[in-house]
């Protein structure tokens, strides 16, 4: 979800699970695609009061949050609160923090869904940790302000970050940008360079020891996501995934495992719906929605960037080859194995999304959502098979 005056919800959120190898991953529960709520502009007093009431209904006590912030930022008050999202999604509240003797600044509270899942608090603190670690880096991200793990404050872990003024790259592209293919092209290249900047960060140099298990991470992936698919058989009504890729893709991945093992920070869900783009220039303002972040081979994010573009790009968007070239030009890593990571990203994301079909078969997710995400899974597996057959950037 977005971290600025625009709140963007991404596809990969939903029911969080722990990966078999201890990395943080997630399955797609109720979220099927990017949506957005525009939180820009002046509010009337009535709007602010209604937003605050909505936040309290979601379990967010703004008075308690204000008191906690005073203990970290000094004397001040919450003004103009805007409840940005809620329900099954993570709770976002935008507000102005107004110090006693200084100009106010726009901040964002981010907390778990109202109906908290078992590991929701841990996920919040992981997001906070990676954002704090990225301070001072070249990675465009929302600036971390403070985090709270004390459940007595609000009943859940949460963190506060700086607002980012930008627009969601999928759901709220301004008309001027929608009509400017040169701008769209530059946006796409900037996105690739931003993802490369993340891959350039040494996770151990920024204090992310123990954030994931990078040693042997790549070798674990084929079995990890085959196991994810097999786990859905616990839903007796799930018909299974009838696609040749369920066997071909993991076998191909296991047989072509790259010799080089890299350790870096993985965003895990870096499609355009999880990016805020600048309104002033065709550049990324911030990568957002870090709940799938972990440590492993950072080229997975390049693969996911390619996988998520299929049929979903703006008309002026760069080609896959241009995206890879832009990434390579900004990265310290060799991109010679890009097709491998493209296939892996398709397999991983498809395995995650199929979970909604399994839960829909048991009546836990709307049937329409399960069907739509199942179709997306099939599309991703089809895409992986085409890359295997030689249609990738690497041929």
Per-10-residue mean pLDDT of the chain, 395 residues long, equals 41 34 40 28 41 60 95 95 69 92 92 83 96 97 98 95 92 91 96 98 97 96 97 94 97 96 94 93 96 96 94 86 97 96 97 94 91 96 97 83
| H-assigned helices in the chain | 45-57, 62-73, 120-133, 151-154, 175-178, 181-200, 217-231, 245-255, 299-307, 320-330, 338-361, 367-386
d(CA 343, CA 338): 9
According to DSSP, residue 75 is labeled: S
Sign of the CA dihedral with 26 first, then 27, 29, and 33 last: positive
| Superfamily classification of domain 41-163 | Phosphorylase Kinase; domain 1 (3.30.200.20)
CB-based contacts of 106, cutoff 8 Å, min separation 6: 5, 94, 95, 96, 97, 162, 163
d(CA 336, CA 256): 13
pLDDT at 115: 73
Domain ranges of the chain: 41-163, 168-391
d(CA 380, CA 107): 36
pTM metric for this prediction: 0.85
Distances from the Cα of 264 to the Cαs of 117, 125, 143, 298, 299, in angstroms? 28, 19, 20, 5, 9
pLDDT at 39: 27
Q: Name the strands in the sheet holding 91-99, side by side, starting at the edge strand that comes first in the sequence.
A: 76-85, 91-99, 105-111, 158-162, 144-148
d(CA 283, CA 118): 37
Strand, coil or helix: what is 381? helix
> Going by CATH, does the domain composed of 168-391 fall within 3.90.1200.10?
yes
Q: Give the closest residue to 355 by CA, choosing from 345, 346, 342, 364.
A: 364
Tell me, yes or no, if the two domains 41-163 and 168-391 fold the same way.
no
d(CA 143, CA 139): 11
Q: Give the closest residue to 146 by CA, choosing from 53, 66, 81, 87.
A: 66
User: What's the CA dihedral at 329, 333, 335, 336 to 10 degrees?
Assistant: 130
3-state helix, strand, coil in the chain (%, to 5): 45, 15, 40
């Amino acid at each position: 979800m977005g971290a600025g005056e625009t709140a963007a919800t991404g596809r990969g959120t939903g029911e969080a699970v722990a990966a078999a190898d201890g990395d943080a991953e997630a399955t797609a529960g109720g979220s099927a695609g990017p949506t957005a709520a525009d939180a820009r502009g002046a509010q009337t007093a009535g709007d602010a009061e209604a937003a605050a009431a909505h936040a309290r209904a979601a379990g967010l006590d703004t008075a308690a949050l204000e008191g906690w912030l005073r203990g970290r930022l000094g004397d001040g008050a919450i003004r103009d609160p805007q409840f940005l999202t809620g329900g099954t999604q993570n709770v976002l509240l935008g507000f102005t923090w107004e110090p006693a003797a200084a100009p106010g600044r726009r901040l964002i509270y981010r907390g778990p869904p109202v109906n908290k899942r078992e590991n929701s608090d841990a996920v919040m603190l992981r997001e906070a940790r990676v954002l704090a670690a990225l301070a001072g880096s070249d990675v465009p991200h929302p600036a971390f302000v403070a985090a709270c793990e004390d459940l007595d404050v609000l009943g859940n872990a949460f963190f506060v970050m700086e607002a980012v003024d930008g627009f969601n790259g999928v759901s709220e592209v301004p008309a001027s940008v929608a009509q400017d293919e040169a701008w769209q092209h530059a946006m796409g290249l900037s996105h690739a360079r931003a993802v490369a900047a993340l891959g350039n960060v040494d996770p151990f140099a920024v204090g992310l020891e123990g954030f994931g298990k990078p040693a042997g991470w790549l070798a674990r992936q084929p079995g990890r996501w085959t196991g994810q698919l097999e786990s859905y058989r616990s839903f007796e009504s799930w018909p299974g995934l009838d696609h040749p890729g369920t066997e071909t893709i993991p076998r191909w991945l296991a047989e072509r495992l790259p010799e080089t093992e890299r350790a870096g920070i993985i965003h895990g869900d870096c499609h355009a719906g999880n990016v805020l783009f600048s309104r002033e220039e065709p550049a990324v303002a911030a990568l957002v929605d870090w709940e799938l972040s972990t440590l492993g081979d950072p080229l997975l994010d390049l693969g996911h960037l390619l996988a998520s573009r299929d049929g979903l790009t703006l008309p002026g968007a760069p080609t896959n080859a241009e995206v890879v070239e832009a990434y390579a030009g900004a990265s310290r890593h060799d991109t010679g194995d890009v097709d491998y990571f493209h296939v892996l990203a398709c397999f991983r994301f498809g395995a995650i999304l199929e979970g909604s079909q399994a839960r829909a078969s048991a009546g836990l997710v709307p049937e329409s959502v399960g069907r739509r995400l199942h179709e997306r899974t099939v599309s991703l597996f089809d895409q992986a098979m085409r890359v295997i057959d030689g249609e990738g950037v690497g041929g």
